[in-house]
Amino acid sequence: VFLIDDAGMPGENITIYEKGRDMGGCCGVIGTEGAYVCPGERELEPYMECLWYLCSKIPALDSPGRSVLDETVDANRGSAIHTECRLIQDRGHIWESVHDYRMDAATSAKLQAFLTEPEEKLENMTIEEYFGKDSPFFDSAMWWCFHPMLAFKPYHSALEAKRYLARFGLANRIDYLEGILHTKRNEYDSIIKPTMVWLQERGVKFQYGCAVYDLDMDEPCNTVQGIRAKLDGQDVCIPVAAEDYVFVTNGSLMANARYGDNTHVAETDRDTEDMGLFNIWRNLAKRNEKFGHPEKFLGKIDQTKWMSYFVTVKDYPEFFERLERMTGSQSGTGGIITVKDSGWEISLMLYDRDYFPKQRENNEDVLWGDGLFGERPGDYIKKPMAECTGNEILLEILYHFNMLDIKDEVLAHAHISTCMMPYITSQFMPRTGKDRPRVVPEGCTNLAFMGQFVEIPGDVVFTIETSVRTPLQAVYQLTGLQKEVIEVYPAEYDMRYFLERMKKFAGIEGPITEADLPKVNPLKIGEMKKELLHKLNSIPPYYIMYQGKDRSVATKKSVLNPEFPKVD
């Protein structure tokens, strides 16, 4: 889209090579009457600027005369997400302490230090190494709101967690899930499908069944000369001219995903030879350091995998009606619910009856969920989630929501698809700032990387925004387009977020009073001044859009050199 609409490239000049038989990746869905397969869930928010820029270009399929962005705005105005059942425990009881973000003084100070820690001090460090394995931080309401929503675990990257907290300003109403947005339907029907229609209308070619695994490059690894792939199982080499552009997704969260259903377990694929898009990255990284270190993210499947499930209930509305009464939220407006005392740490989200185009007329209700610790035994089904069928997972859900009295009816009307994803949180593994390649690695003339394994300073991974920002930047850089990339929203420097965060963690409601101010030790004023100066000077300059072609105008005191004499 950006090549065509921003850079002016004819659509017929573009070919997309795809291993599967459809587009969408983790946003892909498979829908047949009475049974849907939907492995992933997206949490969208207002400051995904590149995503909304893309959506503003694409006409919606369901809303004539409206863009995908228009349609999404309408959908959220009509049914905004707000939950008062963020977490449950004790078989269906709402955990009311979810709104109390107060921590003891030491833990609070540690968190505040974390938010301003230089990234180089967090490289190769886990979250629990920073806070301490037994820290009260991991029992706080803030952690329980943050980590199941985003799939962070204590052994994941402290650097990436810090970026999340900075990028989204700690999401001040995250305990209500306010500010999380949704599309009119699932993201495939609302974003992927209309984008594909737009591309096809402009002559873009789609080559399915083509698994790219390596690139032929010149000796310094600057220019791509060929694309190595298997097309329907046969080895092919696609020639690349120096003036061509090659955009590569160098890793997939869905690599080696395997599926199950009501009666079949989704296996865990531990193959380390055929790893889909990771093969390209691994082969390039062996040849040049500038392509990063994929091994930092791969090879620890038991720390990067978890299972999702998708439940379709046909002709039995009682199940969803009871869930709505328990949570107080209508389907589609309540966001994700986590079972706090679940061995699997299971979560689920109820969608409305417009999530799929024909769902309402087919009298179908659907929900998505996951289990972040599927290697642990369940509480009703006494074995790991990773070894369970869809029926067993649904029974575990019914147990935690205190609905085993209708288990026979629910099972009789439910189709459950399961998906085991070995690399779904591989992008969160501890790393340095150089372990992922830049969008256009140093010296590269016709190669750019896209996706969740690319380094964008200040931005996070595991978002659909990253999947849009990286190709936007790639197009602008490779084509030399004289257009600014939209900045990553600097929420951590927005005083409004800072103030709300301070009040939330202090348990302050209403205006701040003198009694709320901390006591100051006069003997530490000198030390406090140094800390304050450090924090003030670490704030980057405000975003300047027009700096001239050499990007230096805003840094110079004088650029015009007028001849008129100056007066002292």
User: By C-alpha distance, which of 187, 183, 189, 239 is closest to 216?
Assistant: 239
Q: Are 306 and 374 in contact (CB under 8 A)?
A: yes
* SS3 labels along 196-238: HHHHHHCCCEEECCEEEEEEEECCCCCCEEEEEEEECCEEEEE
**Token duo for residue 198:** 């737009």
Continuous H helices in 37-104: 49-55, 68-78
Q: Are 462 and 151 in contact (CB under 8 A)?
A: yes
Question: Which string of b and e fits 111-148 if b means at least 16 CB within 10 Å?
Answer: beebeeeebeebbebbbbebbeeebebbebbbbbbbbb
Helix (H, G, I), strand (E, B) or coil at 474: helix
399 flagged as catalytic: no
User: By C-alpha distance, which of 172, 150, 158 is closest to 117?
Assistant: 158
Residue 301 one-letter amino acid: I
Q: How many angstroms separate the CA atoms of 529 and 531, rounded?
A: 5
CA distances to 175, 188, 248, 292, 546 from 467, rounded to whole Å, are: 26, 14, 12, 18, 26
Residues facing residue 364 across a β-bridge: 314
Residue 32 one-letter amino acid: T
Contacts of residue 193, Cβ cutoff 8 Å, sequence gap at least 6: 61
DSSP helix, strand, coil percent of the chain (3-state; round to 5): 35, 15, 50
Q: How many angstroms separate the CA atoms of 410 and 314, rounded?
A: 9
Annotated catalytic residue within 36, 41, 43, 355: 43
* SS3 labels along 547-568: CCCCCCHHHCCCCCCCCCCCCC
Annotated catalytic residue within 36, 164, 176, 489: 164
* SS3 labels along 350-393: ECCCCCCCCCCCCCEEEEEEEECCCCCECCCCCCEHHHCCHHHH
423 flagged as catalytic: no
**Token duo for residue 13:** 């000049």
Element spanning 284, H or E = helix 278-285
Q: How many angstroms separate the CA atoms of 130 and 132, rounded?
A: 6
Continuous H helices in 489-537: 495-506, 525-537
Q: How many angstroms separate the CA atoms of 301 and 84, rounded?
A: 35
Rg (CA), the chain: 25
CA angle 543, 469, 9 (to 5 degrees): 105
Helix (H, G, I), strand (E, B) or coil at 448: strand
Q: Which residues are catalytic?
A: 43, 164
